[in-house]
């Protein structure tokens, strides 16, 4: 049982480049979300989804896009990377009826 | 909007001793959940313990227990018989009840050091 997987683990981008962070879960969870973790600020919600075809914005959505075409996958797209997006990104999933979330291993992204 | 505050950026404890990490939150809701997550140097987020606001009994998980004071909006984590493997960043998190699904609001984190 792989749980929540994320790729890549590390990534370096130049300002203006685009990329997609991949997230997949094999637990048939309806809810999936993306957080970013910055020093001294805990984790902040970027986008979330309550099922295939349904997405919504979290606390810090600017500069990021998401889509949910299947229950298993929830990719996060950076359209034009900026140094302010340097962070550690976590994907998480949970059943709709339970609050605790299961997290992936994270992706450390550096934008130069 | 709800806020979660962890006022202790760093804490330390001797192996086998007990330590308490503090967390306060601000909400006008009556239905919510509270969590403690552990993040070791591996970066993986690990659920330590959860508490439903409607339950008066404090949650316990082996050496981990909470002191949930709903009126004071306080949710502290007590680690008994501390072990070297407990060294990590600990996050307190809040989730609204009802249809907020899994949206979590996190505190800033507390770094716990365990001395042998």
What digits encode the pLDDT tens for the residues A5-53?
A: 999 999 999 999 999 999 999 999 999 999 999 987 789 999 999 999 9
- Indicate the residue of A44, A50, A90 with minimum beta-carbon distance to B101: A50
Q: Is the pLDDT of residue A60 over 90?
A: yes
Q: Is the pLDDT of residue A2 over 90?
A: no
Q: Is the pLDDT of residue B103 over 70?
A: yes
Query: pLDDT over 70 for what percent of chain A?
Result: 97
Q: Which of B104, B107, B111 to mutate to test the interface with A (most CBs of A within 10 A)?
A: B104
Residue B104 — φ and ψ, nearest 5°?
Answer: -110, 140
Instruction: Test A100 with B35 for CB contact under 8 angstroms.
Output: yes
Q: Which of A27, A40, A43 to mutate to test the interface with B (most CBs of B within 10 A)?
A: A43
Residue A26 — φ and ψ, nearest 5°?
Answer: -115, 25
What digits encode the pLDDT tens for the residues B51-69?
A: 999 888 999 999 999 999 9
How far apart CA B79 and CA B72 sit, in angstroms, is 21
Residues from chain B that touch A25, judged by Cβ atoms under 8 A, are none
């Amino acid at each position: 049982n792989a749980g929540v997987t994320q790729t890549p683990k590390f990534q370096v981008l130049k300002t203006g480049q685009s990329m997609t962070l991949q997230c997949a879960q094999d637990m048939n969870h309806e809810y999936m979300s993306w957080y970013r973790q910055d020093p001294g600020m805990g984790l902040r919600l970027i986008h979330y989804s309550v099922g295939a075809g349904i997405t919504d914005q979290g606390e810090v959505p600017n500069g990021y896009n998401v889509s949910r075409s299947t229950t298993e996958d929830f990719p996060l797209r950076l359209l034009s990377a900026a140094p302010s997006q340097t962070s550690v990104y976590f994907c998480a999933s949970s059943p709709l009826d339970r609050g605790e979330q299961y997290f992936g291993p994270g992706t450390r992204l550096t934008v130069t | 909007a709800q806020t979660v505050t962890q006022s202790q950026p760093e804490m330390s404890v001797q192996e086998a001793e007990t330590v308490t990490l503090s967390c306060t939150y601000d909400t006008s809701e009556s239905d919510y959940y509270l969590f403690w997550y552990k993040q070791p140097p591996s970066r993986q987020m690990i659920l330590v313990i959860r508490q439903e606001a409607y339950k008066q009994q404090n949650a316990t998980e082996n050496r981990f227990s909470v002191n949930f004071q709903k009126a004071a909006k306080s949710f502290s984590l007590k680690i008994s018989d501390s072990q070297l493997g407990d060294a990590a960043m600990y996050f307190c998190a809040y989730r609204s009840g009802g249809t907020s699904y899994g949206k979590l609001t996190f505190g800033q984190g507390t770094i716990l050091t365990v001395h042998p």
